[in-house]
């Protein structure tokens, strides 16, 4: 049996080193600079992953480890691929850096900041390794997407759909078991109604498929686990993508099993379906999820069997140079050999000469990277100034700005051409690595300079309430509290705050049976959170099985003797404060949401809600996200205030009742929340309390 010379020359048992010692040093320096450049996002993501309320994304901490393990697994294949410098990668690196800056401001989107960082990482790896190796390294870079928290606005929509799927499927499963256990289950929205016999009595329980049971909390972890199982083993491409596609159905199926298990636990003891047992059941579902992935992977592995000879030929094929690029590969190997004097049998230069040449290459690379980054950064700034000339900080005519922008673009073109010619010279890898350092140093200094000049605060600090919301009075004026609801731990995990009240008040001047005589007040306080989409009735009520009847924006009018105007600003007196309480405005923009039972279209109620965000009244989550916080604010907080008016079908009448009730309770609520003037002037929070928190 004969073999080709190309295959004869391969020594698979003794692969060459993937990187030299100097390359590892360059990699460490580039990695440090890259982390410094994107440290605000990395720190924010780490805080989310380690936060109790950010438990949905705790898996983000292990994503880089899995990506690194994949690279370690593939080092044999990488060693057989030629390393090349790709100018396209440098362009992608710049695109990721400037995209990151854009989504800091004016884009102001944390999720897209993370995706921009991944784009920059992709460009960096492509620039230093080339397309040949990038065909392997694309996966660990793309896998980092699972470490980026998806915006709550998007994620909640996924959760809502999963709630409905989990509730419907779990109800069917519970009815199947009910044939043997005397159990009946029905579902409305995402709420499951259980009817079963226990101790000779027929008991009815309600199981709310909250987000903790909907798959939301574990979906991202399930997806990351499934993709890791697909790619960490040596499989054909179609097997891997089949596993990736099946991750979502497997995750949903496992979650349905979780909800079904919680429903069956209700038959034994209702408390077993809550608290620590509830959490334990959720963690336990990771085991069948992993087994499901492995089972599907085993089935796919059995579909096509390869003999040892074919596997050996596949391994050898990675080492055979491509006919179209064989000359370039030989040149790259020669260049690589020139960078590794130890690998040559004899040296053509003295050690001093080699050191001097290496230093010049490093200096040229650093200088080229610095200049190119400065030119591109200047072009980016002038591009923005073409639309807003005042960004330059001084008066300048728009035509002149456009002219300067054209000159800077020409400079970038000339600089890019010169840099490309430089990389074609001897020792291109040293030049490229030094250029990356120059680019990243310029980006770090530039970003920090902009942040310093604009006094921007990229990570907001939490600010505590002045008083806990539970001190709100149980009676005031003609209103009397008739119920103070304490939410379960599972609901608090969904709400993601423990600073809240959920009370029902009645108007003692009206019969309790009259529509509008009772209102439900729900107030929830959030601070220092990176994503500003709290739970609102638009989604929660519908998920609970109610039918939406319309949504609009309206104005709540605060009136009464407690309110007074001083120098154009509004204040109110409150028994909870020794001084007047600041009120941002007495005409509050709010959202009115109408809803009712699905099977009773004539029965309708209304709920009105708005937000207090950094001293402003805002009507919706979108207003909070895009206009609630200034880039220069050191602290951030927002508070959802929700008033449900019972059995009032007319939205206008509900608005009036909410205005009457809120006119009396709002000064007490504002006395509990931070005074934004005190926060901005440094009087709140106290220094010791702030440091402790």
Same-domain pairing of 357 and 443 = yes
User: Highest mean pLDDT range out of 9-13, 72-76, 249-253, 385-389?
Assistant: 72-76
Q: State the burial class of residue 637 (Cβ atoms within 10 Å of its Cβ: 0-12, 13-18, 19+).
A: buried
Whether residues 288 and 429 fall in one domain: no
Phi then psi for 178, rounded to 5 degrees? Answer: -65, -20
Q: Is residue 281 part of a domain?
A: yes
Q: Are residues 436 and 475 in the same domain?
A: no
Asked whether residue 185 falls in the same domain as residue 127, the answer is no
Contact 219, 160 (CB under 8 A): no
Q: Write down the pLDDT at residue 319.
A: 44
pLDDT in tens, 550-584: 999 999 999 999 999 999 899 999 999 999 999 99
Whether the pLDDT of residue 609 is over 70: the answer is yes
Residue 10 predicted with pLDDT over 70? no
Dump the DSSP string for 242-294: HHHHHHHHHHHHHHHHHHHHHHHHHHH-GGGGSHHHHHHHHHHTHHHHHHHHH
| Dihedral sign from CA coordinates of 329, 332, 334, 339 | negative
- Reduced to 3 states (helix: H, G, I; strand: E, B; else coil), residue 681 is coil
* Residues 292 and 367 both lie in one domain: no
607 vs 648: CA distance, rounded Å = 10
The reply to whether 72 and 166 lie within a common domain is no
- What mean pLDDT is reported for the chain? 81
What does DSSP say about strands 635-645 and 461-462: parallel, antiparallel, or unpaired?
parallel
- Domain assignment present for residue 31? The answer is yes
Q: What is the pLDDT of residue 686?
A: 84
Residue 103 is classified by DSSP as H
Mean pLDDT of 426-436: 80
Number of folded domains in the chain? 3
Q: Is residue 10 part of a domain?
A: no
Q: Please tell me the predicted confidence (pLDDT) of residue 388.
A: 67
Arithmetic mean of pLDDT, 67-90: 90
Report the Cα 295 to chain-centroid distance in Å: 31
**pTM for the complete prediction?**
0.80
Q: Where residue 626 falls among pLDDT bands split at 50, 70, 90?
A: confident
317 located within any domain: no
How are strands ordered across the β-sheet holding 191-198? Answer: 183-188, 191-198, 201-208
CA 653 to chain centroid, in Å, comes to: 40
pLDDT per position as a tens digit, 205-219:
877 765 444 445 667
Q: What is the pLDDT of residue 658?
A: 95
Q: Is residue 7 part of a domain?
A: no
Is the same domain home to 588 and 640?
A: yes
Which of 454, 488, 509 delimits the end of a domain?
454
Co-location of 446 and 504 in the same domain: no
117 and 215 both lie in a single domain: no
| Residue 498 within any structural domain of the chain | yes
3-state secondary structure 401-465: HHHHHHHHHHHHHHHHHHHHHHHCCCCHHHHHHHHHHHHHHHHHHHHHHHHHHHCCCCCCEECCC
Give 225's pLDDT tier (boundaries 50, 70, 90): confident
Residue 652 lies in domain: 461-692
Q: What phi and psi, each to the nearest 5 degrees, are found at residue 395?
A: -75, 130
pLDDT(89) > 80: yes
The pLDDT of residue 431 is above 70: yes
Report if residue 318 sits inside a domain: no
Residues in the chain: 693
Cα pseudo-dihedral 473, 479, 481, 487, rounded to 10: -80
SS3 content of the chain, % helix, strand, coil (to 5): 60, 15, 25
Inter-residue contact 132 to 81 (CB < 8 Å)? yes
Domain co-membership, 295 together with 409: no
Same domain? 470 vs 613: yes
- Residue 312 lies inside a defined structural domain of this protein: no
Task: Evaluate if residue 392 carries a pLDDT over 90.
Answer: no
Shared-domain flag, residues 188 and 112: no
Return the residue matching tokens 């919301």. 469
Specify the pairing of strand 581-583 against strand 183-188.
unpaired
The pLDDT, as a whole number, for residue 312 is 43
**Model pLDDT for residues 107-157, shown as the tens digit of each residue:** 888 899 999 999 999 999 999 999 999 999 999 999 999 999 888 777 777
The residue from 420, 454, 488 where one domain ends is: 454
Q: Which of 303, 318, 341 is the last residue of a domain?
A: 303
Mean pLDDT of 54-81: 87
The string of pLDDT tens digits covering residues 17-66 is: 556 677 788 889 999 999 999 999 999 888 888 875 555 688 888 999 99
Q: Is the pLDDT of residue 324 over 60?
A: no
Q: Dump the DSSP string for 511-539.
A: -TTSTTSEEEEEEEEEES-S------HHH
Q: Is the pLDDT of residue 335 over 70?
A: no
């Amino acid at each position: 049996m004969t073999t080709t010379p190309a295959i004869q020359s391969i020594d698979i048992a003794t692969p060459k080193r993937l990187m030299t010692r100097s390359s590892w040093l360059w990699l460490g320096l580039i990695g440090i600079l890259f982390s410094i450049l994107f440290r605000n996002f990395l720190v924010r993501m780490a805080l989310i992953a380690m936060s109790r309320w950010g438990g949905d994304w705790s898996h983000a901490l292990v994503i880089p480890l899995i990506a690194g393990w994949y690279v370690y697994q593939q080092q044999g294949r990488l060693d057989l691929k030629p390393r090349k410098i790709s100018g396209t990668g440098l362009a992608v690196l710049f695109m990721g850096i400037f995209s990151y800056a854009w989504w800091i401001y004016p884009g102001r989107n944390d999720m897209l900041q993370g995706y921009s960082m991944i784009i920059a990482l992709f460009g960096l790896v492509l620039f230093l390794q080339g397309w040949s190796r990038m065909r392997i390294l694309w996966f660990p870079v793309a896998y980092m997407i699972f470490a980026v928290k998806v915006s709550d606005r998007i994620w909640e929509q996924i959760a809502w759909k999963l709630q409905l799927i989990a509730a419907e499927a779990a109800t069917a499963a519970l009815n199947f078991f009910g044939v043997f256990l005397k159990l009946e289950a029905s579902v409305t929205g995402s709420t499951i109604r259980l009817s079963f016999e226990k101790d000779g009595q027929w008991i009815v329980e309600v199981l709310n498929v909250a987000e903790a049971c909907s798959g939301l909390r574990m979906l991202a972890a399930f997806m990351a686990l499934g993709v890791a199982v697909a790619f960490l083993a040596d499989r054909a491409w179609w097997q891997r993508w089949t596993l990736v596609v099946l991750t979502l159905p497997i995750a949903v199926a496992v979650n349905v099993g979780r909800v079904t298990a919680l429903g069956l636990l209700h038959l034994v003891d209702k408390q077993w379906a809550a608290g620590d047992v509830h959490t334990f059941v959720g963690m336990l579902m990771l085991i069948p999820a992993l087994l499901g992935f492995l089972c599907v992977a085993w089935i796919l592995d059995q579909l096509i069997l390869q003999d040892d000879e074919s596997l050996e030929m596949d391994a050898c094929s990675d080492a055979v140079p491509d006919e179209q690029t064989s000359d370039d590969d030989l040149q790259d190997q020669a260049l690589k050999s020139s960078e590794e004097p130890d690998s040559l049998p004899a040296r053509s230069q003295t050690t001093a000469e080699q050191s001097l040449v290496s230093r010049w290459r490093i200096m040229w690379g650093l200088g080229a990277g610095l200049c190119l980054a400065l030119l591109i950064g200047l072009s980016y700034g002038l591009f923005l100034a073409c639309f807003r000339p005042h960004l330059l900080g001084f008066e300048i005519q728009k035509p002149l700005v456009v002219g300067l922008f054209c000159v800077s673009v020409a400079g970038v073109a000339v600089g890019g051409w010169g840099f490309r010619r430089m990389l074609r010279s001897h020792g291109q890898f040293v030049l490229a690595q030094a250029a990356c350092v120059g680019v990243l140093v310029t980006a770090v200094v530039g970003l920090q300079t902009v942040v310093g000049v604009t006094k921007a605060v990229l990570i907001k600090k939490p600010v505590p309430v002045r008083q806990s919301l539970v001190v709100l009075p149980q009676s005031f004026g003609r209103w009397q509290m008739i119920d103070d609801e304490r939410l379960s731990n599972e609901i608090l995990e969904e709400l993601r705050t423990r600073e809240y009240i959920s009370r029902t008040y009645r108007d003692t001047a009206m019969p309790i049976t009259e529509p509008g005589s009772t209102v439900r007040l729900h107030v929830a306080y959030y601070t220092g959170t990176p994503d500003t989409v709290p739970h609102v009735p638009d989604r929660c009520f519908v998920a609970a099985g109610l039918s939406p009847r319309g949504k609009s924006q309206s104005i709540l009018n605060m009136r009464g003797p407690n309110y007074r105007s001083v120098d154009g600003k509004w204040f109110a007196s409150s028994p909870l404060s020794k001084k007047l309480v600041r009120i941002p405005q007495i005409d509050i923009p709010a959202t009115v949401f109408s809803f009712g039972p699905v099977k009773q279209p004539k029965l309708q109620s209304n709920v009105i809600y708005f937000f207090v965000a950094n001293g402003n009244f805002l009507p919706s989550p979108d207003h909070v996200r895009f206009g609630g916080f200034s880039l220069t604010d050191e602290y951030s907080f927002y508070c959802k205030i929700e008033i449900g008016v019972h059995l009032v079908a007319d939205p206008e009448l509900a608005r009036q009742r909410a205005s009457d009730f809120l006119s009396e309770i709002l000064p007490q609520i504002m006395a509990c929340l931070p005074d934004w003037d005190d926060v901005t002037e440094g009087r709140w929070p106290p220094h010791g309390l702030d440091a402790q928190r």
